[in-house]
């Protein structure tokens, strides 16, 4: 009986020791890995820093201006190129105003046909209908 | 019995234990018995007691340990974390924080560099190594390297602060006996462009000038970058235009600032000639001098902005009043004349518009010396600028401040101030009348530091109209930018050289704000000793030299800074009303 118990104890102790050894080994390996990862992080951070500096260096305004002058057909923005949204003609206003006779003929027929379609028909039907309506209007022009 | 001692002596030898000699065994048994009989029992007793005590001690220890185990396992309050803490990932540490502009562009950074050194004793073939090394690092001298590698020393520097590319090339050579030492070096990607405001450091990365110096302790003590108020794009535009003007007018220097009218933040600060902060040692002292903050200049007529603002705010004059500017003023041993002489009665708007010295002088005389001193003091013109730089000039204030000083300061002579002071004072005049110290540090979005009221809002609004008038119809017409309403004032000051005012050496300047109906930015530019050229009909005045710089700068930075341009044909108060009223008054004066 004592012999069996002793054996059991011995086996348990041996198992525990092995397990401990295994875990310790595992942890050591992981710590090593962590160290490598940390070193990598530092290396990459350093590289990022160098690259950021290089990016800033390459973006010197004088250099960009010179490159743009040599390779691009662009000029610095002037105040004349700004337009306020409300100064833009409303969408479609141009065709409506310039084609008054044609549009006046198309408009009444367009409105009643489109309105119910938009209200009732499911989404896919909306597209083709609108297109035909527009081409009709285009033909009328 | 006579054998006993012998037996005992034998007994001590371990081999005898296995002795098969019956005599010896008997003797041993006897000896044991003899031992037990004669005084053996008490010893056994002692042994047992000791065993018991030891056993109890051990049992106690086990009970304590066992109880502790149970305690930890069953009754522990869970103070131990369930998940082990991960050691934090290391952050790259540099000895000095970066400096970035308001948009996050890196202006100064610390880069790890490798310095190349050799252990000449380990270099087997100095001549060959030198030849290969010079191919990788062409700026080294082959003979010098060969001499260095041939010495009998254990350590010698070959080159400090290699770039990563150079280090790679050297590494690829695989020459034994060469090593790298890690070092850190301050690097300024934008070089000259921000040289004066950023400054530079020495080899030990200690700040020697500019922000590097004034924020030395801050930069050392933290990791996150220091965000300046500078906008690199604006800085570039201003620097380029100033440099162009400097070349065109063969000037000896130039300076300029762009400031935010609401906060006092400096968006651009340029001083020319400039230097490369990556090689500060090679720069001439003249180039290292920051004209924008350290340079002190008599600014000339731009000071009339303050004279008129003061007279209006004190109620000494109104926009309808005026002075007779037909005769020069004689005071002490000076005669004050007008450069753009009109030789008639001039209204206040006209005095400002035509930059009449006589008119400004009379206005200041009417206001009084004490008031002028206090007013200029509140505008920060009599004390060093508040900007965060070590290179700040102490204004040259007349002492004592006599009436003659009052008169000359009215049109910008006799009080020498730095461009930073000038620009912050103009900011206070146009932004509604509140003074805010100039700063190089970016404010948080929307944050507006508390200002000190210098003048009434009404006076500030009047000054805006007057400044616009100068650009529309007066001496500053060349500053009228397309699409942006610029208001400003020209200045042309003769330079004081050796105690005398030189006729041919002057400072041409222009102080401007735009858009003038609600100023967002204030620009001040000055050119040192411009020479007249054919295009300007020989003139080298503020109107001919400095005003066009402002126009070009405004046209470029307006779109960059998101200032909405005015529409063509939009109604504008061109100051006609001011002039019409003045004219009516003038004819009245004439008929009287």
Cα torsion at B289, B291, B293, B299 (round to 10°)?
A: 150
Interchain contact, A79 vs B109, CB within 8 Å: no
- Touching check for B104 and chain A: CB below 8 Å? no
Range of weakest confidence among A63-72, B337-346, B409-418, B549-558? B337-346
A65 interaction partners in chain B (CB closer than 8 Å): 236, 240
Say which CATH superfamily domain B236-588 falls into: DD-peptidase/beta-lactamase superfamily (3.40.710.10)
Q: Of B110, B229, B301, B347, which one is the catalytic site residue?
A: B301
Residue B486: its pLDDT value, please? Answer: 92
- Touching check for A41 and chain B: CB below 8 Å? yes
First to last CA, chain B: 166
Q: Sign (positive/negative) of CA torsion B296, B298, B304, B310?
A: positive
Q: How large is the average pLDDT for residues A41-63?
A: 89
A82 interaction partners in chain B (CB closer than 8 Å): 483, 559, 564-565
Q: How does the average pLDDT of chain B come out, rounded?
A: 85
Whether pLDDT at B392 is above 60: yes
Q: pLDDT tens digits for B84-142?
A: 676 666 666 677 889 999 998 999 998 888 888 888 888 888 888 888 888 888 888 88
| Residue extents of the structural domains in chain A | 2-71, 99-141
Residues 6+ apart with CB under 8 A from A58: none
Q: Measure the CA–CA gap between B127 and B322, rounded to whole angstroms.
A: 86
Residue B431 neighbours by CB distance under 10 Å: 26
Q: Sign (positive/negative) of CA torsion B247, B248, B252, B256?
A: negative
Whether pLDDT at B14 is above 60: no
Distance from CA of B130 to the nearest CA of A (A): 29
Is the pLDDT higher at A96 or at B55?
Answer: B55
- Nearest CB partner across the interface for A79, out of B105, B106, B555: B555
Task: Give the SS3 label for residue A46.
Answer: helix
Interchain contact, A76 vs B556, CB within 8 Å: yes
Nearest CA-CA partner of B315 in B429, B456, B206, B433: B456
Q: How large is the average pLDDT for residues B413-427?
A: 93
Is the pLDDT higher at B460 or at B332?
Answer: B460
- Confidence band of B57 (pLDDT split at 50, 70, 90): very high
Residue B90: its pLDDT value, please? Answer: 66
Q: Is B301 a catalytic residue?
A: yes
- Touching check for A104 and chain B: CB below 8 Å? no
Cβ(B421)–Cβ(B256) below 8 Å? no
Interchain contact, A56 vs B564, CB within 8 Å: no
Cβ(B516)–Cβ(B485) below 8 Å? yes
A54 interaction partners in chain B (CB closer than 8 Å): 189
Distance from CA of B9 to the nearest CA of A (A): 39
Residue B13: its pLDDT value, please? Answer: 47
| Residue extents of the structural domains in chain B | 99-227, 236-588
Q: How large is the average pLDDT for residues A105-125?
A: 38
- Confidence band of B177 (pLDDT split at 50, 70, 90): confident
Residue A33: its pLDDT value, please? Answer: 94
B232 interaction partners in chain A (CB closer than 8 Å): 61
A57 interaction partners in chain B (CB closer than 8 Å): 189-190
Judged by phi (left if over 0) then psi (alpha if -120 to 50, else beta), residue B378 lies in alpha
Cα dist from B415 to B298, B391, B400, whole Å: 6, 19, 12
Q: What is the DSSP letter of B478?
A: G
Per-residue buried b or exposed e for B373-390, using 16+ beta carbons within 10 Å of the residue's own CB: bebbebbbbbebbbbbbb
Whether pLDDT at A120 is above 60: no
Say which CATH superfamily domain B99-227 falls into: Penicillin-binding protein 2a (Domain 2) (3.90.1310.10)
Contacts of the segment A90-97: beta carbons below 8 A, 24+ positions apart: A95/A141
The chain A residue lying nearest B568, using CA atoms, is A80
Distance from CA of A85 to the nearest CA of B (A): 12
The chain A residue lying nearest B231, using CA atoms, is A61
């Amino acid at each position: 009986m004592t012999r069996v118990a002793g054996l059991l104890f011995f086996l348990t102790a041996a198992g525990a020791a092995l397990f401990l050894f295994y875990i310790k080994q595992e942890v050591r390996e992981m710590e090593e890995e962590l160290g490598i990862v940390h070193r990598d992080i530092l290396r990459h951070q350093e590289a990022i820093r160098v690259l950021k500096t290089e990016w800033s260096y390459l973006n010197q305004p004088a250099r960009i201006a010179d490159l743009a002058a040599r390779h691009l057909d662009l000029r610095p923005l002037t105040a004349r190129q700004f337009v306020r949204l409300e100064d833009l003609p409303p969408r479609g206003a141009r065709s409506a105003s310039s084609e008054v006779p044609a549009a006046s003929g198309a408009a009444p027929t367009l409105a009643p046909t489109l309105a119910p379609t938009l209200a009732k028909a499911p989404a896919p039907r909306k597209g083709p209908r609108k297109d035909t309506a527009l081409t009709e209007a285009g033909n009328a022009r | 019995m006579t054998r006993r001692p012998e037996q005992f002596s034998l007994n001590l030898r371990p081999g005898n234990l296995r002795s098969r000699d019956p005599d010896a065994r008997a003797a041993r048994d006897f000896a044991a018995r003899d031992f037990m009989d004669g005084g053996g029992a008490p010893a056994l007793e002692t042994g047992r007691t000791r065993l018991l005590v030891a056993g109890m001690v051990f049992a106690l220890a086990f009970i304590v340990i066992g109880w502790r185990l149970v305690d930890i396992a069953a009754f522990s309050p869970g103070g131990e974390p369930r998940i082990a803490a991960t050691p934090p990932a290391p952050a790259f540490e540099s000895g000095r924080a970066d400096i970035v502009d308001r948009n996050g562009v890196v202006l100064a950074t610390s880069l790890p560099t490798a310095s190349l050194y050799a252990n000449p004793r380990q270099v087997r073939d100095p001549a060959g190594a030198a030849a290969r090394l010079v191919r990788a690092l062409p700026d080294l001298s082959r003979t010098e390297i060969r001499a260095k590698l041939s010495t009998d020393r254990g350590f010698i520097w070959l080159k400090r602060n290699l770039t990563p590319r150079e280090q790679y090339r050297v590494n690829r050579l695989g020459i034994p006996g060469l090593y790298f030492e890690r070092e850190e070096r301050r690097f300024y990607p934008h070089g000259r462009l921000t040289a004066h405001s950023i400054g530079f450091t020495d080899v030990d990365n200690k700040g020697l000038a500019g922000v590097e110096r004034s924020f030395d302790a801050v930069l050392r003590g933290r990791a996150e970058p220091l965000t300046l108020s500078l906008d690199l794009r604006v800085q570039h535009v201003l620097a380029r235009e100033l440099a162009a003007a400097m070349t065109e007018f063969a000037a000896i220097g130039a300076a300029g600032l762009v400031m935010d009218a609401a906060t006092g933040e400096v968006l651009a600060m340029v001083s020319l000639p400039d230097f490369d902060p990556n090689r500060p040692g090679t720069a001439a002292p003249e180039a290292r001098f920051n004209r924008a903050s350290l340079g002190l200049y008599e600014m000339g007529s731009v000071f009339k902005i303050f004279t008129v603002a003061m007279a209006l705010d004190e109620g000494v004059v109104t926009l309808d009043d005026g002075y007779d500017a037909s005769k020069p003023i004689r005071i002490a041993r000076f005669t004050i004349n007008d450069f753009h002489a009109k030789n008639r009665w001039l209204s206040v708007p006209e005095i400002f518009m035509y930059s009449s010295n006589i008119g400004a002088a009379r206005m200041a005389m009417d206001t009084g010396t004490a008031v002028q001193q206090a007013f200029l003091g509140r505008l920060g013109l009599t004390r060093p600028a508040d900007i965060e730089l070590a290179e700040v000039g102490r204004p040259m204030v007349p002492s004592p401040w006599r009436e003659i000083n009052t008169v000359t300061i009215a049109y910008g002579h006799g009080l020498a101030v730095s461009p930073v002071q000038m620009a912050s004072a103009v900011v206070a005049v146009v932004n509604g009348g509140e003074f805010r110290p100039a700063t190089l540090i970016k404010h948080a979005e929307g944050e507006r530091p508390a200002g000190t009221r210098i003048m009434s809002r009404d006076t500030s609004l009047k000054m805006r109209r007057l400044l616009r008038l100068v650009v529309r119809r007066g001496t500053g017409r060349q500053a009228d930018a397309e699409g942006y309403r610029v208001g400003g004032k020209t200045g042309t000051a003769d330079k004081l050289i050796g105690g005398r005012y030189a006729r041919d050496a002057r400072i041409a300047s222009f102080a401007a704000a735009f858009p003038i109906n609600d100023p967002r930015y204030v620009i001040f530019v000055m050119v040192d000793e411009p020479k007249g050229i054919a295009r300007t009909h020989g003139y080298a005045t503020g109107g001919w030299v400095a005003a066009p710089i402002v126009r070009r700068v405004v046209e470029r930075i307006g779109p960059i800074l998101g200032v909405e341009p005015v529409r063509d044909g939009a109604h504008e108060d061109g100051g006609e009303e001011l002039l019409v009223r003045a004219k009516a008054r003038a004819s009245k004066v004439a008929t009287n």
